Amino acid sequence: MNPDQSGVGGLARLVSAWGNSVRGLRLAWAGERAFRQEALLALALVPTAFWLGQGWIEVALLAGSVGLVLIVELLNSAVEAAIDRIGLERHELSGRAKDLGSAAVWLALVLCAGIWAAALWQRFAP
C-alpha cells in the first residue's frame, strides 16, 4: 500500500485514486508519442464505432478493442518506466521485459485491426 494512502478509505481514497489516474494519463500524453497517436485515433474511432456497429455487441467490440490498445500501451509504458528506473544500462532481462511489452501492444493492435476489418467487411462487402 502506498504510505500516502494509509488510513485513507471511502470517498477520500476514490478521489485520490482518480487524481493518480488523471496524472498518469497526463504523463502518458506528454511523454509517450505512441499513446498520443493511439489516443487521437481513438477520438475518431470510438464515435465511428457507434455508427458502424449494428447493435450494442458490435459497438462494444469496436470501441472496446480501441480501449484495449490504450490500456495495453499504458501498461507497456509503465513497464518501460520501471525498467528505466532500475537502470539504463543494457541487460538481457530489461530488454526482454520491454520486448514483451511491445509484443503485447502489437497483439492488441492486430486484434483491434481484425475486429474493425471484420465489421467493415460485414457492413460494406457485397
Say what the pLDDT of residue 67 is. Answer: 98
- Reported as a single tens digit per residue, the pLDDT across 28-73 is 999 999 999 999 999 999 999 999 999 999 999 999 999 999 999 9
- Cα–Cα distance measured from residue 53 to residue 119, given in angstroms and rounded to the nearest whole number: 7
Per-residue pLDDT for 20 more than 90? yes
CATH class of the domain comprising 33-124? mainly alpha
Angle at 29 between CA 6 and CA 97, to 5 degrees: 70
As annotated, the active-site residues are 73
Say what the pLDDT of residue 88 is. Answer: 81
Domain residue spans in the chain?
A: 1-31, 33-124
Q: What is the pTM of this model?
A: 0.88
- Cα–Cα distance measured from residue 52 to residue 77, given in angstroms and rounded to the nearest whole number: 31
- Cα–Cα distance measured from residue 54 to residue 79, given in angstroms and rounded to the nearest whole number: 37
Say what the pLDDT of residue 9 is. Answer: 82
- Reported as a single tens digit per residue, the pLDDT across 83-112 is 999 988 899 999 999 999 999 999 999 999
